[in-house]
């Protein structure tokens, strides 16, 4: 994770819900990327806390998670 203070204004970002999230309102994760970071949030708490990681960290996570399936 980044030690830099990320911008907390995510209003202009395009959020994408996980393809594993159901339509019944279950556990939902959304992500949005800007030029330097990827933001992750709970779609049921859009004004709640965010997890912000570098694009490289996110790519490593996705690569690791997809190799586990």
Q: What is the pTM of this model?
A: 0.73
Positive or negative, the CA dihedral 69, 65, 62, 59 is: negative
Token pair 């980044």: residue: 2
Residue 57 lies inside a defined structural domain of this protein = yes
Token pair 């965010």: residue: 50
What tens digit of pLDDT does each residue of 2-61 get?
A: 444 445 677 789 999 877 766 666 678 899 999 999 999 988 888 889 999 999 999 999
Residue 47 lies inside a defined structural domain of this protein = yes
Residue 16 lies inside a defined structural domain of this protein = no
Domain containing 46 equals 28-67
pLDDT at 67: 76
Residue 59 lies inside a defined structural domain of this protein = yes
pLDDT at 6: 46
SS3 (DSSP) at 63? helix
Greater model confidence, 66 or 56:
56
CB 55 within 8 A of CB 38: yes
Q: How many domains does the chain have?
A: 1
Closest CA to 40 of 13, 67, 63: 13
E strands in the chain:
16-17, 29-33, 37-42, 51-54
């Amino acid at each position: 994770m980044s030690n830099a203070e990320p911008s907390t204004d995510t209003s202009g970002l395009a959020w994408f819900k996980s393809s594993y999230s159901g339509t019944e309102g279950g556990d939902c994760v959304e992500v949005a990327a800007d030029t330097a970071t990827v933001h992750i949030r709970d779609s049921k708490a859009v004004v709640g806390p965010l997890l912000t990681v570098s694009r490289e960290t996110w790519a490593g996570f996705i690569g690791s998670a997809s190799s586990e399936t």
